[in-house]
């Protein structure tokens, strides 16, 4: 499945991948890892908060960690992470799938952003973005 097929499948829908905490941004990430990247959904370990996937990331054979800088731009399909950004991400941070953008702004495929929203494309600035995990091919 491609990123576009994945987004078309879930756009406007709620996705509860693990059946545990309702419709969270992490559910979208897990489904993406399994359906598009064709990896086990917990290739990125389970943590309490979305931002911890990025902050606790250890190098592996599946992803490259990229720290957000003023000149860096993710690639389509990169998994992008936010830290604490009041009031939109709160203490948990946020995770989404990068679609397109430049050094000033971008569009990602998100769930639960802002809170209690279905999967959809969202316009963002880089405010609060910690960085992203880029799948290795």
Please identify which residue in the block is written with the tokens 């959809």: 120
Cβ neighbors of 108 (< 8 A, separation 6 or more) are: 80, 96, 97, 98, 99, 121, 122, 124
pLDDT at 44: 96
pLDDT tops 90 at residue 74: yes
Query: Which CATH number belongs to the domain containing residue 104 in this structure?
Result: 3.90.1720.10
What pLDDT is attached to residue 99? 98
Which of the 8 DSSP states describes residue 33?
H
Residue 77, sorted as left (phi over 0), alpha (psi -120 to 50) or beta, turns out to be left
**Domain extent at residue 13:** 3-135
Nearest to 32 by CA among 4, 51, 55: 4
What's the pLDDT tens digit per position in 8-63?
Answer: 999 999 999 999 999 999 999 999 999 999 999 999 999 999 999 999 999 999 99
Number of domains in the chain: 1
Q: Is the pTM of this model over 0.85?
A: yes
- Examine the pLDDT at 130 and tell me if it is beyond 80: yes
Give per-residue pLDDT as tens, 99-113: 999 999 999 999 999
Is the pLDDT score of 122 beyond 90? yes
């Amino acid at each position: 499945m491609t990123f576009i097929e994945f987004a078309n499948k879930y756009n406007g829908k709620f996705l509860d991948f693990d059946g545990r905490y309702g419709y969270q941004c992490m559910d979208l990430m897990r489904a993406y890892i399994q359906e598009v990247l064709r990896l086990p959904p917990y290739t990125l370990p389970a943590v309490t908060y979305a931002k911890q996937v990025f902050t606790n990331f250890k190098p592996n054979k599946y992803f490259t960690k990229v720290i957000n800088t003023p000149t860096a731009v993710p690639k389509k399909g990169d998994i992008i992470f936010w830290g604490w950004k009041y009031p939109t991400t709160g203490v948990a941070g946020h995770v989404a799938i990068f679609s397109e953008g430049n050094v000033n702004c971008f569009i990602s495929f998100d769930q639960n952003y802002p809170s209690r929203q279905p999967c959809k494309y969202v316009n963002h600035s880089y405010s609060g973005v910690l960085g992203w995990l880029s799948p290795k091919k």
